[in-house]
Amino acid sequence: MPQSLPFRPGPCRCVLAMAMVIATMLPGGLLRSADAAEPQANPATQTVTFVAPSVIGTLTLPLAGDGRRLPAVVLVHDALGPDPRSEGYIAQLGGAGIAVLELLSDEVLPALPLAAEALAADPRIDGSRIGVLGFGAGAAAAAAVRVPFAARALLYPGCATLPAQLPAPARTPLLLLHGGADPANPPAACAAAAVALARGGAAVRRVEYAGAGFAWDRPAYGQEGRSLLPAPGSTERIPAVPWPELAEFSAAQVAGFFALALRPAGR
């Protein structure tokens, strides 16, 4: 059975404290302040352009290491393409010693297998320890793509349309994050999807954030308090209300998940 953990965020200070606890459990864990006026460069990572046949993206590499090949995560954006919600996740994953390939290709499903193949061939990357992280429609693609990723993290993917079985080896770790107030990911649908995926062989951990809606981690632009985004697998637009403190927490939680799921064999 899947591990289902309802999470009810309290006041902002409590959420930040919990995120900091998780972050300090990771090697070199980083937290960006919700009060920062401008994003700061991360001195612990280096970002380079990544180009392979039919694959365009940016590869962020942790600078500190012992010379061993790195685990990596392919990051897949939501339906409207790249936006700043990825930044917190990249910073946390980099702090955990995990490289991140932020996929910028227009056609995601064809590009994902090629991205995984190109990453596995990179001498800096351990090809046996590659995971995938997706937001919204990108999470739906990450669930459906026939690539043997070592772990998958799906954020508000449109639970009702998730496959009943992952196209991946049995017991592949899967983290499913969704809001309790998300019309595109109703809790009952996400609970049912988690059960179905577990029966199909995945090692599922489902976390429901009470009070959170769709894309809580997408920052507001300018003075906007909310935005209308496409629901996964639909042209319908649904509201997305930013929750910066929860965004920091979920980024730390995703990094912790991948740090465990992609650790070297025997550790």
In the predicted model, what is the mean pLDDT of residues 236-256? 96
> Is residue 66 pLDDT above 80, yes or no?
no
Q: Which two three-digit tokens encode residue 30?
A: 């980083």
pLDDT digits (tens, 9 = 90+) for 148-205: 999 999 999 999 999 988 888 889 999 999 999 999 999 999 999 999 999 999 999 9
Name the one residue in this structure whose structure tokens are 């998730």: 162
**pLDDT band at residue 222, thresholds of 50, 70 and 90?**
low
Full-model pTM = 0.84
Confidence (pLDDT) at 115: 96
Cα–Cα distance for residue pair 246/57, rounded to 1 Å? 27
Confidence (pLDDT) at 183: 96
Number of H helices, E strands in the chain: 6, 11
In the predicted model, what is the mean pLDDT of residues 258-263? 97
Rg of the chain on CA atoms, in Å: 17
Helices (H), 31-186: 86-95, 108-121, 137-144
In the predicted model, what is the mean pLDDT of residues 123-149? 96
Sheet with 151-155: list strands edge to edge: 3-7, 203-209, 173-179, 151-155, 125-135, 70-76, 99-103, 55-62, 45-52
Cα–Cα distance for residue pair 42/67, rounded to 1 Å? 20
Confidence (pLDDT) at 25: 39
pLDDT digits (tens, 9 = 90+) for 20-57: 333 333 333 333 323 333 444 556 789 999 999 889 99
